[in-house]
Amino acid sequence: MTLTLSSSAFQDGAEIPARHTCDGLDISPPLAWAGLPPGAKSLALIIDDPDAPDPAAPQMTWVHWVIYNLPPDSGALQQGVAPHDLPHGTRQGRNDWHRTGYGGPCPPVGRHRYIHKLYALDVVLPDLHSPDKAQLENAMHGHVLAQAQLTGLYRRP
């Protein structure tokens, strides 16, 4: 079985509803996964935008959400999940607004891609004390059993 990541709010390659962006409620979309590989002990999720600030001339990847130590059997994250509602043991890192938690799409110009990447890991990571994306990726190195991806698009009205 292959690891998959999906959302009931949008299909892969489709528009992210405004409610999940800075133009709406800025709440995280519902996410669900299936097909965990044997030996998966935790999951990590990174959502980022490789088209920042302008898709015509991208200069950086903007990080929107960093989560790790999601229990593999949790199966999903509900829409607008609050920090206290995350599955037990789940930790969050810093996004590029220098805060923990979800920060929705808010592109300054053009239609951007928002890549939701889920990683199945063979370990439960130690407390990384609000890592940024690079620190989490470094900690995951050599422990990724499988990866799934979901891409959403958004252009401000």
Number of H helices, E strands in the chain: 1, 9
Say what the pLDDT of residue 71 is.
97
Say what the pLDDT of residue 53 is.
96
Say what the pLDDT of residue 56 is.
95
Domains (ranges, CATH) in the chain?
A: 4-145 (3.90.280.10)
Say what the pLDDT of residue 157 is.
87
Taking 50 as the pLDDT cut, the residues of the chain under it are none
Say what the pLDDT of residue 142 is.
98
Give 38's contacts (C-beta < 8 A, 6+ positions apart). Answer: none
Q: For residues 29 and 152, is the Cβ–Cβ distance under 8 A?
A: yes
Say what the pLDDT of residue 1 is.
74
Say what the pLDDT of residue 113 is.
98
* H helix runs in the chain, sequence order: 133-140
Per DSSP, 19 falls in state G
